[in-house]
């Protein structure tokens, strides 16, 4: 067989392994685990870091204030140096909608060694400690929760004995680029961190979704959250690793009624979302970057290239092998498209989307070496040593 056929065969084998051996990452049935109402509902403090979020707060904050929770609950919104009136808008929304008590705090500029978001989270947790909560709900300012979201999270944590219960919020998919890129973003995340493995005791796979993380307060103390991860750009994965490292039990799954209201109407908006942290995910390691690019090319780009090459050269073996790998790829993407309510004809376009992600990852590395680095709400962290670990 020619080198082209062999490459297509390797890609097909890789897809067969991903289909069966990567924790069934492509399935979308990992939802909140079985749960029952506790005899006594524990107290919860909800911490919301917010920097220039006035555009999304009207669609998200009222959903937190309106939580139908039988126990004591309170919201702490941390206005992290906003220039658009985020803090005052939050107070106005609280006055208008009522519901859970709201405290708006401001932490000042983060000191050396801290990312801005985690410094805001730390300030919120410090404010919450005065209430001595049993749980902390860490949620982003663009996340809208169904009225029973908090009670369902707490019931799941209590029933399953979880220290962290996290849900991957359903992202917005309305524009053309959102339809092409967003479901694939969650699909790729699940491929890296299979949800079934995360929830399994003894498994080393650890991840959470930063938009919705219910964390036991005593575990936050034991794992030194957020101090232990203060330099992390990808803070949700770092949080889950810290909790597992402290002996905690983590659960992550897809949300049903927890939604992001932040729009990404243009490709450049999505590009910025992915590229700001893609190279950080690879630990700023050039070898991991090379391996990732090669892996993306082999797994996602070789199948359609083999089909085209086989058709042009009249090689049935090349075309059939490539088509088989492409079919398995598309088949594993179908459940995610259904979860997002998207047309199934998008499934064969996954190689194109993967190519975009490949370019975003390379661009992330280029930004890093140009000194621009990862960013969150106007703050840039060019290199790991730009956010030093000051034990």
285: left (phi over 0), alpha (psi -120 to 50) or beta: beta
Single out the residue of 61, 85, 246, 101 nearest to residue 164, CA to CA. Answer: 246
Summarised one tens digit per residue, pLDDT across range 328-378 is 999 999 999 999 999 999 999 999 999 999 999 999 999 998 876 555 566
Per-residue pLDDT of the chain (391 residues; tens, 9 = 90+): 689 999 999 999 999 999 999 999 999 999 999 999 999 999 999 999 999 999 999 999 999 999 999 999 999 999 999 999 999 999 999 999 999 999 999 998 899 889 889 999 999 999 999 999 999 999 999 999 999 999 999 999 999 999 999 999 999 999 999 999 999 999 999 999 999 999 998 899 999 998 999 999 999 999 999 999 999 989 999 999 999 999 999 999 999 899 999 999 999 999 999 998 899 889 899 999 999 999 999 999 999 999 999 999 999 999 999 999 999 999 999 999 999 999 999 999 999 999 999 999 999 999 998 876 555 566 665 544 444 333 2
- Tell me, yes or no, whether 9 and 122 share the same domain: no
End-of-domain residue from the set 206, 234, 263: 263
Q: Which domain holds residue 120?
A: 44-263
- Tell me, yes or no, whether 11 and 51 share the same domain: no
**Domain-embedded: residue 86:** yes
C-alpha 71: how far from chain center: 28
Contact between residue 214 and residue 135 where contact means Cβ atoms under 8 Å apart: yes
For Cα atoms 359, 142, 120, give the angle at the middle one, nearest 5 degrees: 95
**Domain-embedded: residue 388:** no
**Domain-embedded: residue 356:** yes
| Separation CA 232–CA 114 (nearest Å) | 8
Residue 165 has phi, psi (to 5 degrees) of -125, 120
- Tell me, yes or no, whether 299 and 360 share the same domain: yes
DSSP code per residue over 59-80: HHHHHHHT---SS-EEEEEEE-
> What's the number of domains the chain is made of?
2
**Domain-embedded: residue 387:** no
- Tell me, yes or no, whether 255 and 285 share the same domain: no
- Tell me, yes or no, whether 253 and 290 share the same domain: no
User: CB burial class (10 A; 0-12, 13-18, 19+) of residue 382?
Assistant: middle
CATH number for the domain that contains residue 68:
3.90.550.10
- Tell me, yes or no, whether 137 and 213 share the same domain: yes
Model's pTM, two decimal places?
Answer: 0.93
């Amino acid at each position: 067989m020619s080198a082209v056929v062999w490459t297509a065969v390797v890609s097909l084998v890789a897809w067969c392994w991903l289909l069966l051996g990567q924790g069934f990452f492509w399935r979308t049935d990992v939802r909140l685990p079985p749960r029952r109402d506790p005899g006594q509902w524990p107290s919860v403090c909800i911490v919301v870091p917010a920097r220039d979020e006035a555009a999304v707060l009207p669609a998200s904050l009222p959903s937190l204030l309106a939580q139908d929770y039988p126990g004591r609950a309170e919201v702490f919104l941390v206005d992290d140096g906003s220039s658009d009136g985020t803090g005052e808008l939050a107070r106005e929304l609280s006055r208008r909608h009522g519901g859970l008590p709201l405290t708006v705090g401001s932490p000042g500029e983060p000191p050396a060694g801290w990312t801005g978001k985690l410094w805001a989270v730390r300030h919120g947790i410090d404010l919450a400690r005065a209430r001595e909560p049993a749980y902390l709900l860490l949620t982003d300012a663009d996340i809208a929760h169904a009225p029973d979201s908090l009670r369902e999270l707490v019931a799941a944590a209590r029933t399953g004995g979880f220290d962290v219960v996290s849900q991957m919020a359903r992202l917005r998919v309305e524009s053309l680029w959102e339809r092409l890129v967003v479901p694939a973003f969650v699909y790729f995340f699940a491929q890296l961190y299979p949800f079934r493995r995360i929830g399994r005791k003894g498994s080393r796979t650890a991840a959470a979704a930063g938009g919705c993380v219910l964390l036991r307060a005593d575990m936050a103390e034991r794992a030194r959250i957020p101090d232990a991860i203060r330099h992390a750009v990808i803070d949700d994965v770092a949080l889950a690793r810290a909790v597992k490292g402290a002996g905690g039990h983590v659960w992550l799954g897809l949300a049903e009624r927890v939604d992001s209201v932040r729009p990404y109407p243009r490709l450049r908006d999505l590009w910025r979302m992915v590229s700001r942290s893609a190279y950080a995910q690879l630990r700023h390691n050039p070898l991991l970057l090379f391996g990732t690019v090669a892996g993306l090319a082999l797994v996602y780009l070789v199948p359609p290239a083999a089909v085209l090459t086989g058709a042009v050269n009249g090689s049935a073996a090349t075309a059939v092998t490539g088509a088989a790998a492409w079919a398995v790829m598309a088949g594993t993407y179908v459940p995610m498209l259904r979860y997002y309510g998207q047309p199934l004809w998008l499934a064969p376009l996954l190689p194109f989307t993967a190519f975009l992600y490949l370019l975003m990852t390379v661009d992330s590395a280029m930004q890093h070496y140009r000194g621009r680095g990862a960013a969150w709400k106007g703050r840039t962290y060019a290199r790991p040593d730009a956010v030093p670990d000051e034990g």
